[in-house]
Amino acid sequence: METRRALLEKVLPEQLGSMLVDLPKDKALPICTGISGPTLMEVIGAVGFERGAKLVQKMDLEVLAGDLSPVSPALLIQLAEALPALTAGKLLSGLEVGTCSEVLRHCSDAQLATWLPHLTAKQMADVLNRSALPEAAGPEQAPEISAEGQVQIERFARSLEAVRDAALVSTLRELPPLVCGHLLHLLPAERRSGLLTALLASGATQFLGHITPPMAVDLLMGCDERRRSSILQSLPTEQIIALLGSMEPEVAGRNLLALPPAIGATLLEATIGSDKPGAAMDMLRELDQEQVGDAGARCFEAASAAQLGVLLSRSIGVAEAAPEGSEEKQAQKSRGSQAAASETLEPCPPIIAGILNKMAPATAAVALTEMKPQHAVQIITAMAATPAAKLLDLGAFGTEVTALAFAQMDEEAGASVLSKLSVERSAEVLANAKPAAATKLLGRIDSAQAAEKVASMPAVAVAGRLANLPASQTAAMLRQMQSDKERVAEVLAAMKSNPLSAALEELEVDQAAGLAALMEPAAAVQLLNSLKQSTAVELMRFLPARITAAALQKADKGKLTSMLNAMEAKLAVKFLLGLAGEGPFVQAEAGGAENEEGGEAGTETNSPGTLLAGLKTEQGGKVLDRIKPLMLVQQFNLAASFQPAKLAGRMVHMDPTKAAELLKVLREEKAETFMSNTVAHMSAGDCKPMLKVMDPTVSAVALAGMKPKEAARLLDDLVEFPQLKANIFDAMSGEAEEAIEAAMTKLATEKKMPQKLRVEQFCIEFSG
């Protein structure tokens, strides 16, 4: 090697370069390996970087990069610029960190953006560290970023657009926290948010402690609330306090209350004294219900019931009662009940309703019982349906408050609360409501409650009631009744097919199938016939085997074929296998597909092979792909069910390996002629992938059964697979091999003919 290197370095660079550039890669590579890096750069400089780049692409870039580390950055930049981006990236990634850093420091911004995506995350981090930090500083104790380092970070930030987020996250994790924070600060806000989330998921948060709180707040505010809360949770308490202290008070409050109760409540307790509930309201008043969350509820639950009652009353505009014996108390008494009766209450602030929604119902109820009934109702009607229902279910208020609350709710809100009450409390509400109001509530009530109300009615009466409801309500009622299978089966049997099918169209497919599964097979098949085809196809995915098998037997052949075409291929395979006697949907499960009377009418025509042959081309290929070849040939009677041309069209859509296996099985099952005819109907491009993976002996049989000219065209297309062609010829009989070779010779001759002669030759053969 040393001797060769010495000899090569005596050749003039321009002569050596011109020679190497024109050599093929396999011949140029051994020579280039014997040249030192500096000498190679002289060669490249002599022939020009554009031609030299062609030479570099013939070399082992990893070895080359090691030799080029001593070369100046300017020359390396020129060389990298002349290379394709991917090749340049590989070359740069093989350089020593110092050399790569110098190249990227001195290259243009456009070059930096082009090459960065092709470096590894570790290499990007190493280069940025070397550029941004003093060399003496370690990754954890970097005191500051130099002015030049700041410039390099800014250049990197502008050049990272093409770097994938995953690679960038890995790079950020490799950076010192200070550099990581500065780089994040310079990225676009929409990308920064996703990177922060990814960094947090990987456990990296320490960079927030190495940048100023305002910068950290700026980074945090670029995230959504959930991400911001997750980041805060990962920090020590003192850092959370420092960050919240740098925010606007309202913003700090929102972020604080977005934390889990265990953290948020602790911090709230430090800022909201239990003796100053008004101060808590002042802090939280601008926040909405969702922002308060469990932390606010936990804080309010710590107050006494009397104190909380005062707070709730004040929130709806009720003046706090003066102490007994005071002048103000006497003045209140002198104004009498007339003024009290005419008081105008303010709407309950959303913040109060939000807190009560989150509180334990028993605790909230005790506070509300400290208030006047009309005041308590003002609060309850502002609450969400479920918490309000839980409060009323406790029975702490008596019928007066409950009736007054429902009277003040609109129909939708009243029905929503009523649907969430217990059965006993619901009955109480309906009994105390006016008849018209009770009817409206029952019409709007949740389907689960409505089902309970009709549970004791005869099935025929229920069916009649359902028939007069909108289809969506009928569907909801049936879905809720489904848990009592015997009961819902009676109702389904009493319903007419039209309202029943309309209702099932409204249900999710699995729910509709659950109901249909409770029917007798004959009735279920009749129901399928009345449904839209798309719904029927989806429904069959979920029906039990006994009903599906009945449908496969009794369905019209044309409709069944259309349904098989419309469904997923793997589902169609299951059904066809059922007809072929395999899997869960075998005909015998339907109740005698081959009984003494000869089975159901139409069953004989629904043979699996006939249905398979009736599928559309692409769907047929997908189905063929999923059935074992031997089963296709034996149980689906493939050769009798398909014309060769039709099967060829479908095999084009099969996986080449599976198609080749099918051809092999056809040969083994003594269907060589059918196999050859099928292959003959394929184009060379379609057949080529199969021949590449097929046993040469099978290929030989298939080609031998074809016309020599067609076989020659197929083999001619395998020019890049000479060994495969040789194996196929080895497996042929001598007569077939001679005929095909002659045809290939003729084909080769024709290719060399001028166009005019080829046309004349074709006309002669066609006419004679």
For 537, the 3-state DSSP assignment is helix
The mean pLDDT of the chain is: 76
> Is residue 645, in this structure, part of any structural domain at all?
no
Give the structural domain span for 385: 248-321+346-436
Tell me the C-alpha distance between 659 and 657, whole Å.
5
Minimum mean pLDDT among 1-15, 221-235, 418-432, 747-761: which range? Answer: 1-15
Question: What pLDDT is attached to residue 46?
Answer: 62
> Is residue 431, in this structure, part of any structural domain at all?
yes
Question: What pLDDT is attached to residue 17?
Answer: 56
For tokens 């809100």, what's the residue?
A: 413
Which of the residue ranges 162-171, 473-482, 604-613, 757-766 has the most confident prediction, judged by mean pLDDT? 162-171
Tell me the C-alpha distance between 107 and 78, whole Å.
9
CB 313 within 8 A of CB 345: no
Question: What pLDDT is attached to residue 601?
Answer: 38
CB 164 within 8 A of CB 117: yes
> Is residue 101, in this structure, part of any structural domain at all?
no
Higher-pLDDT residue of 605 and 644 is: 644
Query: Mean pLDDT across the stretch 298-312?
Result: 69
**Rounded (10°) angle between helices 373-380 and 305-315:** 70
Tell me the C-alpha distance between 633 and 638, whole Å.
5
Question: What pLDDT is attached to residue 655?
Answer: 93
CA distances 196 to 160, 227, 233, Å, are 16, 8, 14
Q: Give yes or no for residue 157 having a pLDDT over 70.
A: yes
Question: What pLDDT is attached to residue 594?
Answer: 39
> Is residue 176, in this structure, part of any structural domain at all?
no
> Is residue 425, in this structure, part of any structural domain at all?
yes
> Is residue 316, in this structure, part of any structural domain at all?
yes
Amino acid at 690: M
Within 614-694, residue ranges assigned H as helices are: 617-625, 629-634, 638-641, 644-651, 656-668, 672-680, 684-693
In percent, the amount of the chain with pLDDT more than 70 equals: 71
Write the pLDDT tens digit of every residue in 707-763.
888 888 888 877 778 888 888 888 888 888 888 888 888 888 777 656 555 555 556
CB 721 within 8 A of CB 692: yes
Query: Mean pLDDT across the stretch 181-201?
Result: 81
Under 8 Å CB-to-CB from 251, ≥6 apart: which residues?
221
**Rounded (10°) angle between helices 398-408 and 385-393:** 160
Q: Give yes or no for residue 666 having a pLDDT over 80.
A: yes
Query: Mean pLDDT across the stretch 581-590?
Result: 59
Q: Burial, 665: exposed, middle or buried (Cβ in 10 Å; 0-12, 13-18, 19+)?
A: buried
* Residue 587: other Cβ atoms inside 10 A: 21
Confidence of residue 649 (pLDDT cuts 50, 70, 90): very high
Question: What pLDDT is attached to residue 593?
Answer: 39
Q: Give yes or no for residue 407 having a pLDDT over 70.
A: yes
Confidence of residue 460 (pLDDT cuts 50, 70, 90): confident
Write the pLDDT tens digit of every residue in 163-189.
888 899 998 888 888 888 888 888 887
In percent, the amount of the chain with pLDDT more than 90 equals: 7
Query: Mean pLDDT across the stretch 355-359?
Result: 85
Question: What pLDDT is attached to residue 597?
Answer: 35
Task: Using only the alpha carbons of the chain, give its radius of gyration.
Answer: 41
Write the pLDDT tens digit of every residue in 206-231.
777 766 677 778 778 877 888 788 88
Q: Give yes or no for residue 596 having a pLDDT over 80.
A: no
Q: Give yes or no for residue 674 having a pLDDT over 50.
A: yes
CB 704 within 8 A of CB 676: yes
**Rounded (10°) angle between helices 165-174 and 177-186:** 140
Q: Give yes or no for residue 647 having a pLDDT over 90.
A: yes
Question: What pLDDT is attached to residue 332?
Answer: 42
Question: What pLDDT is attached to residue 618?
Answer: 92
Under 8 Å CB-to-CB from 404, ≥6 apart: which residues?
373, 374, 377
Q: Give yes or no for residue 247 having a pLDDT over 90.
A: no
Question: What pLDDT is attached to residue 352?
Answer: 78
Query: Mean pLDDT across the stretch 403-424?
Result: 83
> Is residue 279, in this structure, part of any structural domain at all?
yes
For 213, the 3-state DSSP assignment is helix
Amino acid at 577: L
> Is residue 597, in this structure, part of any structural domain at all?
no
Minimum mean pLDDT among 147-156, 287-296, 333-342: which range? Answer: 333-342
Question: What pLDDT is attached to residue 631?
Answer: 92
Question: What pLDDT is attached to residue 716?
Answer: 81
Query: Mean pLDDT across the stretch 518-522?
Result: 80
Tell me the C-alpha distance between 341 and 330, whole Å.
18
Query: Mean pLDDT across the stretch 287-303?
Result: 65
Phi, psi of 58 (to 5 degrees): -90, -5
Q: Give yes or no for residue 643 having a pLDDT over 90.
A: yes
Query: Mean pLDDT across the stretch 313-335?
Result: 53
Question: What pLDDT is attached to residue 725?
Answer: 83
Question: What pLDDT is attached to residue 326?
Answer: 43
Minimum mean pLDDT among 85-89, 201-205, 575-579, 756-760: which range? Answer: 756-760
CB 44 within 8 A of CB 67: no
Question: What pLDDT is attached to residue 274?
Answer: 37
Token representation of residue 591: 């109740």
Token representation of residue 733: 């009989």
Higher-pLDDT residue of 541 and 364 is: 364
Minimum mean pLDDT among 58-62, 126-130, 136-140, 427-431: which range? Answer: 136-140
Amino acid at 477: M
Write the pLDDT tens digit of every residue in 49-96.
777 667 777 676 777 777 777 788 888 888 888 888 888 888 888 888
Total structural domains in the chain?
1
CB 708 within 8 A of CB 742: yes
